[in-house]
Amino acid sequence: MDTSVFKNGFTFLWDGNLYTVLEFMRVPKYRGGSFVQTKLYNLRNGATLNYTFNGSEKLEEVQVDKREMNYLYDEGDKAIFMNNDTYEQIEIPKSMIQRELQFIVMGNNVQIRTYEGEILGVILPDKVTLRVADTPMGDKGNSQTNTQKEATLETGLVIRVPMFINTGDLVIVNTETAKYDSRAKE
């Protein structure tokens, strides 16, 4: 395949690594042809890379599989997930999914990304609902101001929340920004 097929989410093998296109822009050259400016996400190590490809550069498209799995439990330095259809269990080193573990609790379903049997990581939903494990008491009726306080969630993630949020409340968190989105209904 050449770079003319680029679109957001396009996954390819290049220079021994798997990349997904996050953003791209085709730029024409003055004397014909073009080049493509991209922002790429390395599926193996989580790094982002800005790179400019020649318009005719050849790349190998790959198919990355996504399977819904349930986060069962932790075993030492590994997180154990179970395929909801086949009941097959897999182990993922916690070091590989350290950020993602801040947004999931045991019993949650998540998408696991794999390529030819190699586990590439966990795909988080855009937003998750988590319980506030600890936060200072807020003021009743203090919902009109933008004043915020720290709250520790059940996963250990610390975020800023409005003053009316209390320990035990459910909150919706944006997984991309790790910020409070809204209060969740019980």
pLDDT of 2 reads 75
Instruction: Give the predicted TM-score (pTM) of the model.
Output: 0.77
pLDDT of 138 reads 66
Q: Is the pLDDT of residue 41 over 70?
A: yes
- Beta strand segments in 29-135, E: 34-42, 48-54, 60-61, 65-75, 78-83, 89-93, 109-115, 118-123, 127-134
Higher pLDDT, 105 or 145: 105
pLDDT of 112 reads 93
The CATH number given to 3-61 is 2.30.30.30
pLDDT of 9 reads 84
pLDDT of 142 reads 52
Can you spell out the DSSP letters for 159-173?
EEEETT--TT-EEEE
The CATH number given to 127-183 is 2.40.50.140
Q: What's the 3-state SS for 113-162? A: EEECCEEEEEECCCEEEEEEEECCCCCCCCCCCCCEEEEEECCCCEEEEE
The answer to whether 160 and 180 are in contact (CB under 8 A) is: yes
Q: Is the pLDDT of residue 26 over 90?
A: no
Mean pLDDT of the chain: 89
pLDDT of 92 reads 93
Q: In which band, very low, low, confident or very high, does the pLDDT at 68 lie, cut at 50, 70 and 90?
A: very high
Percent of the chain at pLDDT exceeding 90: 57
In angstroms, the CA 95 to CA 135 distance is 27
Domain with CATH 2.30.30.30 in the chain: 3-61
- Say yes or no: domain 65-123 is CATH 2.60.120.10: no
